[in-house]
């Protein structure tokens, strides 16, 4: 199998497929002069771009500046599987574990968020290859079925249009000998081209009068009581308020990292599948799909029928944002192996692109808000790999906190509490390495790996589903 994987990877480009496009807009000029603004947004991913649009639409008079260290969509937003979800947390099951008291509100906010997401894309004619095909959760082996059934039950309880699939019907949707069942949540989710979404949002923000500076990095912030002075690499910005949308990079205040760890996830993209190859796997309904493996794999089709196959975590010391090993074949071999084990009928398929991207991981596996400089700056991030639609929600609530809006939801736990503290380096590095090894091998080998995952669950990371335990209810969040 591994030999087949290495062969299929032999001509791969180490570049996110989404960013390998001649439709990328040219970068806005870097900031060179000192300026003033009402609102400074730091980070040009989905969160920053949505925040700029939402704030400008709400109050067109507000002066808004957005700075991005690299170019728009350089971070996670140009690199995801880009499966759209109606959940603004990390799916219903994890949300029900962590925020049982907020769940009704979170579900309502999730529906409102996805409607606003859809409506904005349509109103501004953002061409981003969106397909509202739903989410498919597939059980790998019989041991995956309890998780599928639990998630399905919650979807039914909260009024989602969902169908439970037995072995035969799941294989009709997506044919793999590993899948023993699943469920398909049919509405308000699907797939998108994330780079085209980000570039479209950039166009809209510029058209509304947002000033965007690319290749401009926040270096330092000074609190001058009534305002902040932000030093960039080339200039100074005087701002009344600042929204830090730096997610896994955790830039903007040294304490952010205490609750956000940068891990990386890896993705492979195949060449376009022929109609005959597609017929071998079915997938007529083109859903975004996740499986129940401990080291979760996710998959989807693109507009030109390539298959994206993702899910192989890595951790690099001190949050290295550009690890050189991820520009070599080695870290992708096990992912390619998993692809061929999942779809043995696609042995003749080759990969064209391989990449990794930064995930801002927290113990609540979902967005949170940190307040700095007496409330003049809010950090919003920590989506834990589930933020393509949730980033719009994060932007909306980050702004609501920053502008002290009178919204009763701001008093709920999800908006008013913080995720747990995560140990610093080198303990973070060592702990992550052991956890990733355990996640990788727990399904096959069990033993101490399960015990370790239980320990990590006790620290607050919701891993009970990987260990077969009931949810841990004693964590302080």
Ligand X SMILES: Cc1cc2nc3c(=O)[nH]c(=O)nc-3n(C[C@H](O)[C@H](O)[C@H](O)COP(=O)(O)OP(=O)(O)OC[C@H]3O[C@@H](n4cnc5c(N)ncnc54)[C@H](O)[C@@H]3O)c2cc1C
Query: Both ends of the chain: CA-CA distance in Å?
Result: 43
What is the rounded CA–CA span in Å between residue 244 and residue 161?
Answer: 36
Residue 212's nearest CA partner among 71, 60, 66 is 66
Instruction: Tell which one of 179, 199, 373, 383 touches ligand X (CB under 6 A).
Output: 383
132 close to 189: Cβ distance less than 8 angstroms: yes
Per the DSSP assignment, residues forming a β-bridge with 220 are 231
Instruction: Tell which one of 165, 210, 267, 354 touches ligand X (CB under 6 A).
Output: 267
Residue 385's nearest CA partner among 399, 366, 401 is 366
Could you tell me the smallest distance in angstroms from the CB atom of residue 449 to ligand X?
23
The alpha carbon of residue 230 and the mean position of all alpha carbons in its chain are separated, in whole angstroms, by 28
- Does residue 419 belong to the site contacting ligand X (CB under 6 A)? no
Instruction: Tell which one of 63, 156, 175, 217 touches ligand X (CB under 6 A).
Output: 217
Instruction: Tell which one of 91, 357, 431, 462 touches ligand X (CB under 6 A).
Output: 357
311 close to 297: Cβ distance less than 8 angstroms: yes
Helix (H) or strand (E) holding 135, with range, is strand 135-140
Could you tell me the smallest distance in angstroms from the CB atom of residue 321 to ligand X?
8
3-state helix, strand, coil in the chain (%, to 5): 40, 20, 40
What is the rounded CA–CA span in Å between residue 117 and residue 377?
Answer: 25
Instruction: Tell which one of 134, 387, 431, 462 touches ligand X (CB under 6 A).
Output: 387
257 close to 360: Cβ distance less than 8 angstroms: no
Could you tell me the smallest distance in angstroms from the CB atom of residue 197 to ligand X?
10
SS3 407: coil
Instruction: Tell which one of 249, 340, 373, 397 touches ligand X (CB under 6 A).
Output: 249
Considering only residues 294 through 313, tell me which ones interact with ligand X, judged by CB under 6 A. 298, 310
- Does residue 441 belong to the site contacting ligand X (CB under 6 A)? no
Residue with tokens 């690319």: 214
Helix (H) or strand (E) holding 64, with range, is strand 64-67
Instruction: Tell which one of 265, 291, 396, 457 touches ligand X (CB under 6 A).
Output: 265
Determine the interface stretch with ligand X among 126-134, 351-359, 407-415, 452-460 (rule: CB under 6 A).
351-359
**Residue 419 vs 449, nearer CB to ligand X:** 419
Instruction: Tell which one of 75, 91, 134, 144 touches ligand X (CB under 6 A).
Output: 75
Could you tell me the smallest distance in angstroms from the CB atom of residue 131 to ligand X?
13
Considering only residues 127 through 156, tell me which ones interact with ligand X, judged by CB under 6 A. none
SS3 152: helix
Instruction: Tell which one of 12, 31, 79, 117 touches ligand X (CB under 6 A).
Output: 79
Number of shown-chain residues binding ligand X (CB under 6 A): 43
Could you tell me the smallest distance in angstroms from the CB atom of residue 74 to ligand X?
4
**Residue 77 vs 370, nearer CB to ligand X:** 77
167 close to 180: Cβ distance less than 8 angstroms: yes
What is the rounded CA–CA span in Å between residue 356 and residue 268?
Answer: 9
Cis peptide before 203 (omega within 30 of 0): no
What is the rounded CA–CA span in Å between residue 46 and residue 43?
Answer: 9
- Does residue 335 belong to the site contacting ligand X (CB under 6 A)? no
**Residue 396 vs 449, nearer CB to ligand X:** 396
**Residue 103 vs 390, nearer CB to ligand X:** 390
Instruction: Tell which one of 74, 213, 372, 452 touches ligand X (CB under 6 A).
Output: 74
Binding interface with ligand X (CB under 6 A): 42-48, 67-70, 74-77, 79-83, 85, 217-218, 245-249, 251, 265, 267, 298, 310, 357-359, 381, 383, 385-388, 391
């Amino acid at each position: 199998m591994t030999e087949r994987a290495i062969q299929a990877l032999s001509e791969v480009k180490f570049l996110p497929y989404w960013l390998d496009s001649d439709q990328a807009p040219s970068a806005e000029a870097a900031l060179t002069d000192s300026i003033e603004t009402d609102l400074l947004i730091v980070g040009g991913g989905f969160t920053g771009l949505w925040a700029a649009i939402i704030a400008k639409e709400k109050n067109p008079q507000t002066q808004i500046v957005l700075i991005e260290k690299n170019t728009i969509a350089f971070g996670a937003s140009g690199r995801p599987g880009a499966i759209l979800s109606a959940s603004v947390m990390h799916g219903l099951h994890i949300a029900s574990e962590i925020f049982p008291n907020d769940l009704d509100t979170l579900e309502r906010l999730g529906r409102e968020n996805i409607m606003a997401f859809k409506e904005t894309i349509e109103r501004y004619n953002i061409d981003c290859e969106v397909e509202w095909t739903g989410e498919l959760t597939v059980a790998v082996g019989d041991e995956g079925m309890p998780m599928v059934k639990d998630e399905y039950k919650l979807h039914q309880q909260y009024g989602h249009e969902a169908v439970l699939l037995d072995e035969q019907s799941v294989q009709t949707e997506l044919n793999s000998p590993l899948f023993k069942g699943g469920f398909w949540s049919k509405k308000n989710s699907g797939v998108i081209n994330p780079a085209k979404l980000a570039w479209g949002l950039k166009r809209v923000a510029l058209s509304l009068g947002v000033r965007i500076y690319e290749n401009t990095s926040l270096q330092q912030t000074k609190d001058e009581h009534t305002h902040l002075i932000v030093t960039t690499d080339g200039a100074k910005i005087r701002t009344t308020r600042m929204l830090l949308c730096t997610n896994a990079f955790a830039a903007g205040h040294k304490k952010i990292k205490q609750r956000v760890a940068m891990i990386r996830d890896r993705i492979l993209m195949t060449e376009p599948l022929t109609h005959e190859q597609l017929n071998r796997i079915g997938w007529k309904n083109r859903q975004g799909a996740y499986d129940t493996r401990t080291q979760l794999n996710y998959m989807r089709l693109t507009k030109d029928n390539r298959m994206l196959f993702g899910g192989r975590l890595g951790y690099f010391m001190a949050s290295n944002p550009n690890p050189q090993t991820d520009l070599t074949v080695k870290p992708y071999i096990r992912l390619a192996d998993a692809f061929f084990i999942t779809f043995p009928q696609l042995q003749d398929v080759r990969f064209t692109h391989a990449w990794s991207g930064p995930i801002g991981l927290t113990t609540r596996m979902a967005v949170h808000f940190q307040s700095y400089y007496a409330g003049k700056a809010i950090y919003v991030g920590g989506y834990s790999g589930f933020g393509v639609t949730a980033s719009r929600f994060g932007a909306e609530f980050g702004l609501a906190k920053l502008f002290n809006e009178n919204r009763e939801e701001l008093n709920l736990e999800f908006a008013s509490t913080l995720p747990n503290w995560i140990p610093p380096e080198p303990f973070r590095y060592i702990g992550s390495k052991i956890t990733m090894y355990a996640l990788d091998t727990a399904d096959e080998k069990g033993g101490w790996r399960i015990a370790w995952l239980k320990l990590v669950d006790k620290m607050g990371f919701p891993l009970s589903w990987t260990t077969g335990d009931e949810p841990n209810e004693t964590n302080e969040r």
